[in-house]
Amino acid sequence: MSAGSEKGDSSPLGATPSPDGVNFSVFSRHATGVELLLFDGIDDTKAASVVRLDPAANRTYYYWHVFAPNVRPGQLYGYRVEGPFDPSSGMRFDPAKVLLDPYGCGVMVPSAYDRAAARRPGDNAATALKSVVVDVSAYDWEGDVPLQRPSSRTIVYEMHVRGFTRHPSSGLSDKTRGTFAGLIEKIPYLQRLGITAVELLPVFQFDSQDSPPGLVNYWGYAPVSFFAPHRGYSSRRDPLGPVDEFRDMVKALHRAGIEVILDVVFNHTAEGDHSGPTLSFRGLDNATYYILDADRSRYANYSGTGNTLNANHPIVRRMIVDSLRYWVDVMHVDGFRFDLASILERDESGSVLPSPPVLWDIESDPALAGTKLIAEAWDAAGLYDVGSFVGDSWKEWNGRFRDDVRSFFRGEEGVIQAFADRLIGSPSIYGHEQREPEQSVNFVTCHDGFTLNDLVSYDRKHNEANGEDNRDGADDNRSWNCGVEGPTEDPDIDKLRTRQAKNFFTVTMLSAGMPMMLMGDEVRRTQGGNNNAYCQDNATSWFDWTLLAKHADVHRFVSLLNARRVLRDVEHEEKRVALNQLLLQEDITWHGVKLGEPDWRNSSHSLAFTVRLTMDRTHYHTILNAYWEPLEFELPPVADGGRHPWRRWVDTFLDSPHDIVEWEQAPAVPGRTYRAEPRSVVVLFADLEPERRS
């Protein structure tokens, strides 16, 4: 222990400031020596001060700790850790490398940051990422708390912080484009669109150099810290700027009634495989933090990115739960979407646990009660848990909703029964669990895959710009180009593509479950057919704001759909009514072109159904025609004897503004049939008079 420093405490982990200095604590079971490095500037070639920890005085159990007097928030620091370098036994200590604190709440990136230098032998102090001491209590929340909006009144907008405002057409200054501050400036747009929650692609500090040569990691699925907001998304350059700017964004979104859900990556890190860089976890305690292969010099790769976090190890479990608590308690976020969540079911050998401790730790933590937990219930090694993810409160990305809805609207055969199941909350998948309808997160597109415009504009992926000869990205897209591959000047094809987009939106918003839409789909944003734009930090991925005028009709359509969705009744959620019970309570009748005669044959491309909602005394009749010819559908009589006729809310075949109308201005539908034009969706309703009270 160096002169002037003190023993310190093992708890809490990380860097904890006080009026007299900062307590530092870090875990390493197998280390033989630890040094705390204090830097004056991010581009300094060496530490201004080195505090060597005494194993006798500065280690309790496997926690290395020291108190550094007179150190203040904003201080840059890192660790060097000594220990055996024996890859065959899983040990990869390298005392030449500067390591990030796993619990560090801030990260600074030197101008000469070099991922390769963390892979090569030798000292990398000049080019290494550095942790930042942060006083998380020094912020005025002005009474803000997480919103805890009912899931039945939630519409999720999956978006990329940088991509949302980085395009020059955003109209923002060079300083704020692509930042948390830039997102704040666009909140009025989100309010007008009618979404109620933003789901942000990863905002934890990630390594943008974890990408193919000449490209960058744009999506952010390459974490190096689970507590620090990504510095590249801050308009502020000071060490503490990103933490406060992120909180400014959360506070502003909450004031607008919009929740913040974070896409979190607890399945792998940016340290990659056995040839990857030593940035933090590998150099602190490789065998603790990662699942190793039978050959312990190699990593198990259930993530598809080179390594897999050992999530059910007690130390890693604690870090994951502590991270989630931090983002809820300190940063006020409302929920999390867990990338490749099925990996969290695996033990240190990679076997699937029937009752994974980390998942129950998350679900049962009282600090996380009321927080939205959403699982991407699969991993890259074939584990697929949609409908069977462990836990009582987790919601799931319903990949089968995506696939079956896509298949129906492109005219495939043999999907009619699965499609009908998706419309009513996928009871074939979720009914056995006696859970609420919102367990199913319904989506047609997300960041991973085609945008909605490209789904209706391309038959095949076009990923050549990624540098992998178009081998990367999914091959099964269930897309249809409507007759021409890519952009077209043919007005009929463009009109069909717009209609298909509206069909997808209508079904997503009206189906039972929690709907999610992708940033820019509401203005037909394109990626030029690239269905894996993870490395495209350019106009391919950015939101082009000129599309708002070009496709104003689609934007208007989505806004009116959303406005009605958020008025849905939530009594079933408050009473914890399961999906099966709700389907029994609500009167649903299926039809074909003839009333009460649905066509369930494999060759069927059309369906109609009537729903009688007892709560708000409204009847809905929906017609879905994926056939390439018009069909005449019989209409059911309205139950009150026809005093309140069917009124047309949506007909996607009609031109704007008739494709969707304000609820109160919906025109009456004469006659006993309705002609549904090719590849269209029609939604009719009848508002019945409230029952008279005696």
Q: What are 279's two structure tokens?
A: 């940035």
pLDDT at residue 346 is higher than 60? yes
What is the helix (H) or strand (E) element at residue 405, kind and residue range? helix 399-409
* pLDDT confidence of residue 572: 56
Mean pLDDT of the region 79-105 = 98
* pLDDT confidence of residue 568: 61
Same domain, 670 and 534: no
Q: Which of 210, 339, 522, 651 is catalytic?
A: 339
* pLDDT confidence of residue 3: 53
Same domain, 212 and 356: yes
pLDDT at residue 569 is higher than 60? no
Mean pLDDT value across the chain: 95
Same domain, 535 and 633: no
pLDDT at residue 74 is higher than 50? yes
Q: Measured between alpha carbons, how far is 479 from 482 in angstroms, rounded to an integer? A: 9
Mean pLDDT of the region 466-493 = 97
Share of the chain above pLDDT 90, in %: 91
Residue 363 among the catalytic residues: no
Same domain, 602 and 561: no
Mean pLDDT of the region 46-65 = 97
* pLDDT confidence of residue 355: 96
Q: Report the domain count for the chain.
A: 2
Q: Which residue among 572, 602, 628 closes a domain? A: 572
Cα dihedral sign for 231, 236, 239, 241? negative
Same domain, 407 and 466: yes
Structural domain containing residue 612:
587-687
Bridge-partner residues for 618, per DSSP? 613, 687
Residue 567 pLDDT level (bands cut at 50, 70, 90): low
* pLDDT confidence of residue 638: 84
In this structure, is residue 316 part of a structural domain? yes
Three-class DSSP category at 676: strand
Same domain, 566 and 479: yes
DSSP, residue by residue, 310-337:
-TTSHHHHHHHHHHHHHHHHTT---EEE
Cα dihedral sign for 21, 27, 32, 36? negative
Q: Which residue among 518, 547, 572 closes a domain? A: 572
In this structure, is residue 101 part of a structural domain? no
Residue 359 pLDDT level (bands cut at 50, 70, 90): very high
Residue 436 among the catalytic residues: no
Same domain, 668 and 596: yes
Q: Which residue among 524, 547, 572 closes a domain? A: 572
Share of the chain above pLDDT 70, in %: 95
For 26, 597, 667, 672, the CA distances from 617, given in Å and listed in that order, are: 60, 25, 19, 21
Amino acid identity of 532? N
pLDDT one-digit tens code per residue, 155-182: 999 999 999 999 999 999 999 999 999 9
Mean pLDDT of the region 483-492 = 98
Tell me the pairing of strands 197-200 and 259-264. Answer: parallel
In this structure, is residue 28 part of a structural domain? no
Query: Of 565 and 178, which is predicted with more confidence?
Result: 178
Query: Of 691 and 588, which is predicted with more confidence?
Result: 588
pTM value is: 0.96
Same domain, 384 and 511: yes
Q: Are 563 and 505 in contact (CB under 8 A)?
A: no
Same domain, 359 and 258: yes
In this structure, is residue 87 part of a structural domain? no
DSSP, residue by residue, 514-567:
EEEEETTGGGT---TT-S--TT--STTTS--TTHHHHTHHHHHHHHHHHHHHTT
Residue 310: other Cβ atoms inside 10 A? 25
Structural Rg of the chain based on CA atoms: 27
Q: What are 119's two structure tokens?
A: 């892979």
Question: In CATH, what number is assigned to the domain containing residue 468?
Answer: 3.20.20.80
Residue 614 pLDDT level (bands cut at 50, 70, 90): low
Same domain, 223 and 323: yes
Length of the chain: 694
* pLDDT confidence of residue 10: 97
Q: Which of 245, 271, 285, 376 is catalytic?
A: 376
Q: Are 132 and 240 in contact (CB under 8 A)?
A: yes
Mean pLDDT of the region 116-144 = 96
Residues with Cβ within 8 Å of residue 367, at least 6 apart in sequence: 325, 328, 329
Mean pLDDT of the region 626-653 = 89
In this structure, is residue 175 part of a structural domain? yes
* pLDDT confidence of residue 691: 44
* pLDDT confidence of residue 694: 32
Bridge-partner residues for 384, per DSSP? 378
In this structure, is residue 24 part of a structural domain? no
Question: In CATH, what number is assigned to the domain containing residue 608?
Answer: 2.60.40.1180
pLDDT one-digit tens code per residue, 436-454: 889 999 999 999 999 999 9
Same domain, 552 and 601: no
Three-class DSSP category at 329: helix
Same domain, 474 and 403: yes
pLDDT at residue 499 is higher than 50? yes
Mean pLDDT of the region 108-129 = 96
Mean pLDDT of the region 612-638 = 90
pLDDT one-digit tens code per residue, 244-263: 999 999 999 999 999 999 99
In this structure, is residue 148 part of a structural domain? no
For 64, 73, 280, 583, 632, the CA distances from 78, given in Å and listed in that order, are: 13, 14, 9, 56, 71
pLDDT one-digit tens code per residue, 178-205: 999 999 999 999 999 999 999 999 999 9
In this structure, is residue 338 part of a structural domain? yes
pLDDT one-digit tens code per residue, 398-414: 999 999 999 999 999 99
Lowest mean pLDDT among 124-128, 212-216, 462-466, 685-689: 685-689
Lowest mean pLDDT among 257-261, 531-535, 685-689: 685-689
* pLDDT confidence of residue 690: 52
